[in-house]
Amino acid sequence: MAAIAAATTAFTSLHLTRSIPYTRRHIHTLITSSSTKFNITFAPPKPKPDPKPDPVIPINTNPSSDAELGEQLYIPWIVRDENGNLTLQSTPPARLLHEMANAKTSNKKKKGKEVGSKAAAVVPTAEPKHSKAARRFYNENLRDPPQRLSKVLAAAGVASRRSSEELIFQGRVTVNGSVCKTPQTKVDPARDVIYVNGNRLPKKLPSKIYLALNKPKGYICSSGEKETKSVMSLFDDFIKSWDKRHPGEPKPRLFTVGRLDVATTGLIIVTNDGEFAHQISHPSSNLSKEYIATIDGEVHKQHLIAISEGTVIEDVHCTPDSVELLPRQPDLPRPRLRIVVHEGRNHEVRELVKNAGLQLRALKRIRIGGFRLPVDLALGKHVELNQGNLKALGWKS
């Protein structure tokens, strides 16, 4: 700017002394021909503000999880922690997962006349039926197979299997309107119409029942109605409350698995499942039975040897699995023997004790197979068996 001002001053002075007009070329010549040096400087440009760096978000990751992911591409989630800081994690927040789990998947109803008209146009259709293939698979694999007529009558509680066969032979049973005199006839209670003495058999059979009874002394193991002191009379309350616990099912016909004589107490199994009773009572099951025998008088070593050698019962030599003299207890002054047998012949333990020259005062069965009589089960009381108890008894259903 100073150089321009000097040139202007020189030009003015010359213009005053000369009357010759000057052009722009003359002015440029005067400026460039001048020997004056100008120290021209310019102010530095205004510095621009540095851009603020992006906030660094701490990454809250687990090294072990990173190693597992490797080069796998995953979506990060930015979550604010309890202190208000933002963290980066590879899994969705727990609150979001909880809300997604509890969210309703049903479609929201739209408001408007159009939706109402569409809803009015929808006609309810009948529920689709199962296909033939599905019904065939159910009938072949899931439906109970047909059973013998005598077995169905016994399971329905009409009578025992032998008594049911007598009813069939007498012509008092009809199947689908025709008299049937063959107990081996296969029937299905759910499909076939069965009448006994003019009363129709229910379509649904009662559920299978498995009970363990602590039999008292003086009761016999018989289901005959004429017996006044049968173990079946101990289940009167159980049968009376059957309708409340199993509505719509007929009452079961209970019977004992095997027998205990009138003077023997302890464990006996009661059920309405004939196959179960046959399996665990058959000699092929080889179930051991443990008894506690209370003896009058003293027991010596020769008595134990005589019992262990066995005795002949019904022309069969029966030998016990083990014989043991139990330690004396203050509240039980009489000696007690623990005798284990597996054949279970009629009065086997009593005959073994008698053959050894001992006098038996009391006999109690405390175990069948792997199931032991509960210690807290009082005389005359029963308890339902669960699947574990049935397996301990050798039931392989």
**Catalytic machinery residues:** 261
Whether residue 35 contacts residue 7, with contact meaning beta carbons closer than 8 Å, is answered with no
Residue 92 identity (one-letter amino acid): P
317/100 Cα distance (integer angstroms)? 74
Residue 232 DSSP label: G
| Helices and strands (DSSP H and E) totals, the chain | 14, 19
Sign of CA dihedral 297, 302, 304, 306: negative
CA dihedral 140, 146, 151, 157 (to 10 degrees): 90
Strand partners, 325: 337
d(CA 206, CA 212): 19
Which residue, among 247, 250, 182, 258, has the nearest Cα to 220 in the 3D structure?
258
Dist CA 276 CA 280 (whole Å): 6
Neighbours of 14 (CB within 10 A): 13
Residue 217's identity, in one-letter code, is K
Cα separation, 35 vs 41, in Å, equals 19
Q: Report helix, strand or coil for 44.
A: coil
